[in-house]
């Protein structure tokens, strides 16, 4: 089994290398047959990698501990689901999984566009195959997941219990889909540079791929945060850990890219900028993998045993410098069709927004590599902690929020100040009203007040876009409002999908501001029958209960929760968990208390409970947090998914144009964005 798997990887490497060479040469020399055989090699590599992944999964399922990776990452006593997810529980396996995803993207792109973009596609396939070859070379020579042990252990070491939960089963694949997904727009961009077809064709071809990758990156960031929040039991969701940051960086530049391509499509500007952003996004995605795998920055997540750090760095150097040189070659051909005309224009707002995103990227990157920087320059190891990141990102993200609102308001090309003031009047008053209401409700911290009222301002701008559009359609066509709204969105899905995403982001931003500014915390040692108070809740400890199965032992503290009127709300059960395979690692299972009868626990705040310790005498040490608005972050993420789906949904608007329902269609072709 192990040999077969290794052979599959070696053959996949050969196929990918051949695919890259054949597509490049074939296209250069104009030999379609060579290109066609290169394309087949792309499919072959995809098939072989699929085989390798299936073989490894199978080895996990049958406990083939002769394979070192299986022995180090699973044990006989694991549920089937986690046996499968052990595939990406360790180092060599996640590399294989990553490469497999990349090969699937390469196969999909090569297959789906086989008849389109004949000038671009061979180059795209070639670039994707080159990227794939790199990872395959690593797998073959440095991190073989099918490496055999010289003996067969009776049982494996098992998977880290922190990774044995549903979140961790989903999180890595999802993040990899995002990291790897940006390869597609990057490969198209490189293809455009290689072929000299520099019009917006590559942007249009990759729009959905970019959105898809961006969606997965967004999910990766939020799911990672949610996992930390629910599983790690420290009451927070984002610790500015180097690996967390690394997943955030490509998201930032990817978001900037999504916006700057709009300007290119509408006005033929910012072309160099687009290229730079996608190059940066791709390399930051690889950098994310590099940080995780090389242990170059001390992190909770890093796997320091890895010897492939230098290889990764060499690849970053190659792809970064290579992409940049390609870009420089075509620099003059990428001149914009128009000049920026006025500061008060959508173009300028987009540019400013892009600069801010880039600034945030740079600042977080700076904080991330600061220990390396200081060690190299001054010889001392100095870090900057969470305060740095909070201090830097708060003003930048506030500015991004404000430009988000302004960007939606301002017209393309130029806008007069007086008309801007007119359109600002409504949303700004909404923001001011919100600030006053919040002040009266007791929100007095200036940053929170400013941040939340900005959210209301941007929200008002966004809602008004929908409102005005629907109203105009209603007046024009006489459709009922609900139909008008639906058709408004269907007419220009990218634009209104984007606005829905904005709503999600605003909601998440409000959640972040609320939970950062108004977290409450209390700790108490309780005997049976004793109670503690926090934020209008009374918690009465009713003793422990214990649960045992073949895998683990669970000690729960039973807490009756009452509100400040003394009404019983329900039971909370924070717990400690002991996995028998690894008894030296107890785990804290936080409980986030929710009660249907108490709406604030559903919509406004989390009552977050941790069992710190259970004494043999029967007393419990408990820590309780009130985390306001944390839910909004996850709700914002859901809205963001919905918005992205609307923006990327394929045929809806086209289909509607083809089948008119009698209602008069407004003139003009459907605009993208």
Partner 1 sequence: MVATSPWVRPRTLAQGLILALAAGLITLLALGLSARAPKAIVGNPAPEFELELFDGGVVRLSALRGNVVVINFWASWCGPCRDEAPILVDAWHAYRDRGVVFIGIDYVDTEPEAHAFMQEFAVDYPNGPDKGQRIARQYQITGVPETFFIDRQGRVAAHYPLPLTRHLLISNIELLLTA
Partner 2 sequence: MAKASATIEIARRWANPQSAKFVVGGAIILAAFAYLLFTATSSSLVFYHTIDEVIAQGIPVGERIRVAGAIDKDSIEWDAERDTLAFTLFNPDNPSQRIFIIYRGLVPDTFWTSPHVIMEGEYTPGQSFVADAMSVQCPSKYVRAEIQ
Residues that bind partner 1 (CB under 8 A): 71-72, 150-151, 153-154, 157, 276, 290, 294-297, 304-305, 307, 309-310, 313, 316-317, 320-321, 324, 328, 331-332, 369, 372-373, 375-376, 582-584
Residue 340 contacts which entry, partner 1, partner 2, none (Cβ below 5-8 A, type-dependent): partner 2
Cα Rg of the chain (Å, integer): 27
Kindly state the smallest distance separating residue 360's Cβ from partner 2, in Å: 10
Where in 241-260 is the site for partner 2 (CB under 8 A)? 241
Q: Which one-letter DSSP state was computed for residue 28?
A: H
User: How does DSSP assign 473-515, residue by residue?
Assistant: HHHHH---HHHHHHHHHHHTHHHHHHHHHHHHHHHHHHHHHHH
Closer Cβ to partner 1, 330 or 594, answer by number: 330
Q: Counting contacts by CB under 8 A, is residue 663 touching partner 2?
A: no
Where in 368-397 is the site for partner 2 (CB under 8 A)? 370, 380-388, 391-392, 395-396
Q: Which residue carries 């940066």 as its tokens? A: 280
Q: What x-and-dash track marks residues 393-422 binding partner 2 by CB under 8 A?
A: --xx--------------------------
Residue 657 contacts which entry, partner 1, partner 2, none (Cβ below 5-8 A, type-dependent): none
Residue 548 CA from chain centroid, whole number: 36
The answer to whether residues 432 and 476 touch, using CB atoms and an 8 Å cutoff, is no
Q: Counting contacts by CB under 8 A, is residue 363 touching partner 2?
A: yes
Q: Which residue carries 């051909």 as its tokens? A: 333
Closer Cβ to partner 1, 31 or 155, answer by number: 155
Closer Cβ to partner 1, 332 or 337, answer by number: 332
Q: At 615, which helix (H) or strand (E)?
A: none
Q: Counting contacts by CB under 8 A, is residue 300 touching partner 2?
A: yes
Kindly state the smallest distance separating residue 307's Cβ from partner 1, in Å: 6
Closer Cβ to partner 1, 92 or 503, answer by number: 92
Closer Cβ to partner 2, 529 or 664, answer by number: 529
For 645, residues 6+ apart whose C-beta sits below 8 A from its C-beta are 497
For 227, residues 6+ apart whose C-beta sits below 8 A from its C-beta are 165, 167, 168, 171
Residue 382 contacts which entry, partner 2, partner 1, none (Cβ below 5-8 A, type-dependent): partner 2
Distance from C-alpha of 614 to C-alpha of 546, rounded to nearest angstrom: 12
The answer to whether residues 87 and 60 touch, using CB atoms and an 8 Å cutoff, is yes
Give the count of beta carbons closer than 10 Å to the beta carbon of residue 366.
14
Candidate segments 80-88, 110-118, 354-362, 552-560, binder of partner 2 by CB under 8 A: 354-362
- Between the CA of residue 439 and those of 450, 533, 630, what are the distances in Å? 11, 25, 20
For 533, residues 6+ apart whose C-beta sits below 8 A from its C-beta are 522, 539
Residue 535 contacts which entry, partner 2, partner 1, none (Cβ below 5-8 A, type-dependent): none
Three-class secondary structure of residue 31 per DSSP: coil
Task: For Cα atoms 322, 323, 324, give the angle at the middle one, nearest 5 degrees.
Answer: 90
Residues that bind partner 2 (CB under 8 A): 157-158, 160, 162, 232, 234-236, 239-241, 298, 300, 340-343, 348, 352, 355, 359, 362-363, 366-367, 370, 380-388, 391-392, 395-396, 523-525, 576, 582, 584-588, 610, 612-613, 621, 623
């Amino acid at each position: 089994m192990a040999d077969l798997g290794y052979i599959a990887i070696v053959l996949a490497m050969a196929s990918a290398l051949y695919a890259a060479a054949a597509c490049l040469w074939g296209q250069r020399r104009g030999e379609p047959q060579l290109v066609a055989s290169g394309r087949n090699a792309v499919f072959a590599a995809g098939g072989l990698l699929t085989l390798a992944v299936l073989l490894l999964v199978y080895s996990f399922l049958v406990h083939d501990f002769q394979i070192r990776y299986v022995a180090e990452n699973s044990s006989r006593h694991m549920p089937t689901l986690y046996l499968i997810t052990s595939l990406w529980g360790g180092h060599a396996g996640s590399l294989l999984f990553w490469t497999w995803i990349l090969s699937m993207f390469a196969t999909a792109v090569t297959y789906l566009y086989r008849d389109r973009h004949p000038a671009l596609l061979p180059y795209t396939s070639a670039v994707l195959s080159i990227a794939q070859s790199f990872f395959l070379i690593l797998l073959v020579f440095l991190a073989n997941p099918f490496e055999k042990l010289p003996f067969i252990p009776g049982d494996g070491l098992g998977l880290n219990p922190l990774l044995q939960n549903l979140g961790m089963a989903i999180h890595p694949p999802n993040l990899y889909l995002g990291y790897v997904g940006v390869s597609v727009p990057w490969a198209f961009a490189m293809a455009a540079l290689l072929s000299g077809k520099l019009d917006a064709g590559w942007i249009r071809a990759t729009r959905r791929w970019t959105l898809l990758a961006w969606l997965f990156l967004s999910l990766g960031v939020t799911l990672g945060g949610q996992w930390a929040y629910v599983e790690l039991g420290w009451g927070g969701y984002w610790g500015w850990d180097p690996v967390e940051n690394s997943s955030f960086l490509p998201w930032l530049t990817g978001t900037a890219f999504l916006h700057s391509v709009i300007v290119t499509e509408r006005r033929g500007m910012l072309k160099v900028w687009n290229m730079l952003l996608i190059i940066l996004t791709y390399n930051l995605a690889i950098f994310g993998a590099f940080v995780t795998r090389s242990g170059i920055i001390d992190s909770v997540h890093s796997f320091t045993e890895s010897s492939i750090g230098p290889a990764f760095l060499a690849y970053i150097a190659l792809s970064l410098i290579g992409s940049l040189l390609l870009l420089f070659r075509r620099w003059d051909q990428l001149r914009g069709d128009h000049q920026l005309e006025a500061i008060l224009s959508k173009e300028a707002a987009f540019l400013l927004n892009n600069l801010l995103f880039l600034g945030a990227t740079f600042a977080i990157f700076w904080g991330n590599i600061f220990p390396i920087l200081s060690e190299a320059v001054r010889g001392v190891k100095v870090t900057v902690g969470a305060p740095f990141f909070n201090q830097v990102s708060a003003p930048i993200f506030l500015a991004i929020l404000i430009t988000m609102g302004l960007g939606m308001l301002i017209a393309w090309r130029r806008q007069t100040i007086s008309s801007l003031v007119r359109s600002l009047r409504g949303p700004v008053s909404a923001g001011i009203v919100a600030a006053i209401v919040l002040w009266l409700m007791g929100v007095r911290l200036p940053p929170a007040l400013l941040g939340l009222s900005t959210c209301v301002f941007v929200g008002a701008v966004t809602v008004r876009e929908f409102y005005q559009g629907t109203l105009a359609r209603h007046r024009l066509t006489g459709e009922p409002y609900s139909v008008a709204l639906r058709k408004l969105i269907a007419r220009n899905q990218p634009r209104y999908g984007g606005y829905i995403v904005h709503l999600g982001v605003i909601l998440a931003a409000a959640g972040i501001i609320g939970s950062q500014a108004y977290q409450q915390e209390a700790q108490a040692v309780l005997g049976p029958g004793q109670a503690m108070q926090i934020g209008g809740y009374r918690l009465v400890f009713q003793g422990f209960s214990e649960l045992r199965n073949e895998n683990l032992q669970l000690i729960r503290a039973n807490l009756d929760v009452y509100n400040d009127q003394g009404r019983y709300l329900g039971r909370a059960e924070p717990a400690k968990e002991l996995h028998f395979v690894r008894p030296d690692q107890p785990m804290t299972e936080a409980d986030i208390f929710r009660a249907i009868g108490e709406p604030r626990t559903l919509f406004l705040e989390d009552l977050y409970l941790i069992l710190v310790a259970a004494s043999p005498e029967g007393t419990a040490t408990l820590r309780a947090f009130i985390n306001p608005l944390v839910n909004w972050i996850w709700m914002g993420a859901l809205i963001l998914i919905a918005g992205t789906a609307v923006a990327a949904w394929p045929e809806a608007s086209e289909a509607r144009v083809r089948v008119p329902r009698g209602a008069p269609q407004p003139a003009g072709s459907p605009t993208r964005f």
